[in-house]
Chain A
């Protein structure tokens, strides 16, 4: 606005003898140029630095079916309970369970799932809401949830409605191997599939920060193709290592929890919604002699220093 008076006399003096329309156009030219430059500068400014963390989501996936994979269900439900306890409501949690353990005919304790042989804690509780269950837990549905590309009829409770201010926790457990994770003994999710989905999520601004935790054998290999910024990955074992179960419950008859998840829970059970624990302390709590595998974390895509990242910040 201040340019116009300055430009006008110059323009009018320089082009005193020209057409009045051309003169008015020339007067507008500097203003137009300024506007275009400012609008060109705007998009970078409106990208990630300006996005503020304002909501949390959790996507918890158990990919194994059959009774002898009880521990994978217990892993996922333990994380579900922890995440709910620390403040994320059911509307922001997508829970995918590949089989029904609680009301399974082989379960001696109907409607109850335990992750410890002392049976102190019923993970199933009274208020569990499962979004994808049974045959619906497929690689296709998982990738659709992550990328948000659903059919129009799919209801809101089955969609990950995150935006550029979301922090998302993605937890997967089941059987896995070198660069893949097995879904229901039928199909696989490969590391490049996961990396592609995360790349799409980043392009569509579906997360600000993403924490992926995987508890399977050779979990670290699943992250080998990730390239998107703002992603933190924690795996329960390195390439060539297995992840082991923690203990067998002789009453139920199967192992009830995996070691990595057991120690992760042991860390979180000490916290509440107002704690200030940092991710660094979570990493330091993993002891290879207790896990019988080396917990792996990938931090190169993550910009902030880990001792600054508080658990509370992730979840609350």
Chain B
């Protein structure tokens, strides 16, 4: 039975329309799914064993691949995407740090210390997606651009004396990685200002509004970091983190408990930042505050017999958390726990002020890296010296520690030394527990790029194998101090010259912390970073080497002395040549006679004047 033609046409038209609508919806859906820029902000707070508090701000902006979204950005900072495109960057990390991460007290094994403990000053490394011959020129342009973007003197890393190209000591790569560090670079508000301007809400709303500058810069350690990862498939992911270690200024700081022990200071966000959090950044996908209670505290709570909740016998959190997560390590033993607050539930009428109040005195410690690496200078005088690196065992047992001889712990050392500290790599000596060992016993692999005067710094990458039972190992390297041209000295040359921090990593130890989340939709970038496989790393101290400085007032002194000597010489010479002794005597005699005559004349004149005035008055 055929339908009348008009209805058939209408039906055809309607079905076509429906099809078109479906297609459009599908297209827009895929376009939305592919082309969405995202921004998330998170804050992690953690009490530290030495009465301080750690605050870690984490902001992630992600932009989809360029072909899908074109060049328009509404959340992602355009400056960064232009940087990535212009310089063909595949990975970049730039950190500004002031202070030294205290590995003994604040831990060295967790992802926080591995990723956020950075060397003082500026550290920049980048991996480029370019042919190897073009990378040095691109690095130079990149340093200039970053110096303009972040108000820092990163352009000093442009010259070949300032950067190096490690192959495996820093991060395994095929020669397209460049690394540079400026240990003396100051970090202050002018570096934070452009860093905050990369965030969609700046510091006006959301978690970044907590950043009261005097609080941040009063801390014991502050490090702001920018980490970029760019690929064709995933687009650009930008992680901006700011890690601050603060001393909470609370009145109740030094309370003594009835049991006699000293309570840890109770603090809250208002104590740390003088502000409360009054809402999230409206364009952020998620905004969360975490409080992390470390394994050491959790163990104590367990020992005290109570359940690890936000309100227990040892401490209480000021606000009830929205969720709590527990870390699961390999042995399925519960370690640290994390309390989560969703900032969406808070606003300016009901601001969020997370805090912790301690009920009982507590001492705990954070897990440390297997060895505590430190570096120092030896020797005296302005001619030569030695760099010594020491590894002190912290008692962290390797998982299956056995007393057999082949148990060993690997350590990778990466060190860059400027050219004016001329290191003799052949003088490397290793001492294990006080006994000198042959290099071949301890050093598995070593790659050295010796320094060239005024051209290249000296780079050293070493893979060491220490026996598990070792307590202390020391490596020493001799060096000679070089001379700089007078123009190359900085204005404050008498302060000394810096050798940037060395990096020590332990490839067999994995620093990751996994907090399994119940809800697969709420993926937290901070926890994602924690879950990432990363090796345990630690940075050594910066060394300050006093070099021979010239006497900068020398040119002035030389000119003064020389002119005086010349004047005396020429003066005496001319005197000797021109003056005749007899003539002088005769001249003197003549002069004396003339003077006598003049005097006699004057006297007679004055006498006459006197008599004339007397006569005149007498006459009157």
Residues of B within 8 Å of A103, CB to CB, are 98, 186-189, 217
Give the contacts of A103-152 with B (CB-CB under 8 A): 103-104, 109-112, 124-131, 133-136
- CB of A43 closer than 8 Å to a CB of B: no
Residues of A within 8 Å of B490, CB to CB, are 135
Stretch at the interface among A14-22, A153-161, A211-219, A233-241: A153-161
Query: Could you give, for residues 41-70 of chain A, a 1 whenever the CB lies within 8 Å of some chain B CB and a 0 otherwise?
Result: 000000000000000000000000110000
User: Are the C-beta atoms of A112 and B214 separated by less than 8 Å?
Assistant: yes
- CB of A185 closer than 8 Å to a CB of B: yes
A103 shortest CB reach to chain B, Å? 4
- CB of B379 closer than 8 Å to a CB of A: no
User: Are the C-beta atoms of A157 and B190 separated by less than 8 Å?
Assistant: no
The interface on chain B, measured as residues whose beta carbon lies within 8 A of the other chain's beta carbons, has a size of: 31
User: Are the C-beta atoms of B188 and A102 separated by less than 8 Å?
Assistant: yes
Stretch at the interface among B65-73, B128-136, B140-148: B140-148
Using CB atoms, name the residue of chain B closest to A97. B190
Taken together as a complex, chains A and B put the C-alpha atoms of A136 and B203 apart, in Å, by 29
User: Are the C-beta atoms of B151 and A133 separated by less than 8 Å?
Assistant: yes
User: Are the C-beta atoms of B194 and A129 separated by less than 8 Å?
Assistant: yes
Contacts known (A111-B217, A134-B153); A128 close to B190, Cβ less than 8 A: yes
User: Are the C-beta atoms of A133 and B190 separated by less than 8 Å?
Assistant: yes
Contacts known (A129-B193, A135-B490); A158 close to B214, Cβ less than 8 A: no
User: Are the C-beta atoms of A111 and B213 separated by less than 8 Å?
Assistant: yes
Contact of A133 among B186, B218, B491, B492 (CB under 8 A): B186
A257 shortest CB reach to chain B, Å? 20
Contacts known (A102-B188, A133-B151); A153 close to B141, Cβ less than 8 A: yes
User: Are the C-beta atoms of A153 and B151 separated by less than 8 Å?
Assistant: no
Taken together as a complex, chains A and B put the C-alpha atoms of A133 and B151 apart, in Å, by 8
- CB of B149 closer than 8 Å to a CB of A: yes
Contacts known (A130-B151, A155-B145); A111 close to B216, Cβ less than 8 A: yes
User: Are the C-beta atoms of A126 and B193 separated by less than 8 Å?
Assistant: yes
Residues of B within 8 Å of A104, CB to CB, are 186
B546 shortest CB reach to chain A, Å? 18
Q: Chain A contact residues (Cβ within 8 angstroms of B): what range? A: 20 to 34
- CB of B158 closer than 8 Å to a CB of A: yes
Taken together as a complex, chains A and B put the C-alpha atoms of A133 and B186 apart, in Å, by 9
Taken together as a complex, chains A and B put the C-alpha atoms of A155 and B79 apart, in Å, by 12
Contact of A124 among B141, B155, B189 (CB under 8 A): B189
User: Are the C-beta atoms of A111 and B188 separated by less than 8 Å?
Assistant: yes
Taken together as a complex, chains A and B put the C-alpha atoms of A187 and B213 apart, in Å, by 34
User: Are the C-beta atoms of B153 and A133 separated by less than 8 Å?
Assistant: yes
Contacts known (A103-B186, A135-B491); A111 close to B214, Cβ less than 8 A: yes
User: Are the C-beta atoms of A100 and B188 separated by less than 8 Å?
Assistant: yes
- CB of B340 closer than 8 Å to a CB of A: no
- CB of B342 closer than 8 Å to a CB of A: no
User: Are the C-beta atoms of B189 and A128 separated by less than 8 Å?
Assistant: yes
User: Are the C-beta atoms of A100 and B186 separated by less than 8 Å?
Assistant: yes
A166 shortest CB reach to chain B, Å? 20
Using CB atoms, name the residue of chain B closest to A185. B491
User: Are the C-beta atoms of B148 and A157 separated by less than 8 Å?
Assistant: yes
Residues of B within 8 Å of A111, CB to CB, are 188-189, 213-214, 216-218
Using CB atoms, name the residue of chain B closest to A110. B217
Taken together as a complex, chains A and B put the C-alpha atoms of A125 and B151 apart, in Å, by 15
A123 shortest CB reach to chain B, Å? 11
Taken together as a complex, chains A and B put the C-alpha atoms of A129 and B490 apart, in Å, by 23
Residues of A within 8 Å of B188, CB to CB, are 100, 102-103, 111, 124
Contact of A130 among B149, B156, B185, B190 (CB under 8 A): B190
User: Are the C-beta atoms of B492 and A65 separated by less than 8 Å?
Assistant: yes
Give the contacts of B206-230 with A (CB-CB under 8 A): 213-214, 216-218
Contact of B149 among A102, A112, A135, A155 (CB under 8 A): A155
Using CB atoms, name the residue of chain B closest to A90. B193
Taken together as a complex, chains A and B put the C-alpha atoms of A100 and B148 apart, in Å, by 17
Query: Could you give, for residues 172-199 of chain B, a 1 whenever the CB lies within 8 Å of some chain A CB and a 0 otherwise?
Result: 0000000000000111111001100000
Interface residues of A (CB under 8 A from B): 65-66, 100, 102-104, 109-112, 124-131, 133-136, 153-158, 184-186
Query: Can you sample 26 A-B contacts with CB below 8 Å?
Result: A65-B491, A100-B186, A102-B217, A103-B98, A103-B188, A109-B214, A110-B218, A111-B189, A111-B216, A124-B189, A126-B193, A128-B189, A129-B151, A129-B190, A130-B151, A130-B190, A131-B151, A133-B190, A134-B153, A135-B491, A136-B155, A153-B141, A155-B144, A155-B145, A155-B147, A157-B149
Q: What 8 A-B pairs come out closest when comparing CB atoms?
A: A155-B148, A100-B186, A103-B188, A110-B217, A153-B144, A111-B217, A184-B491, A186-B491
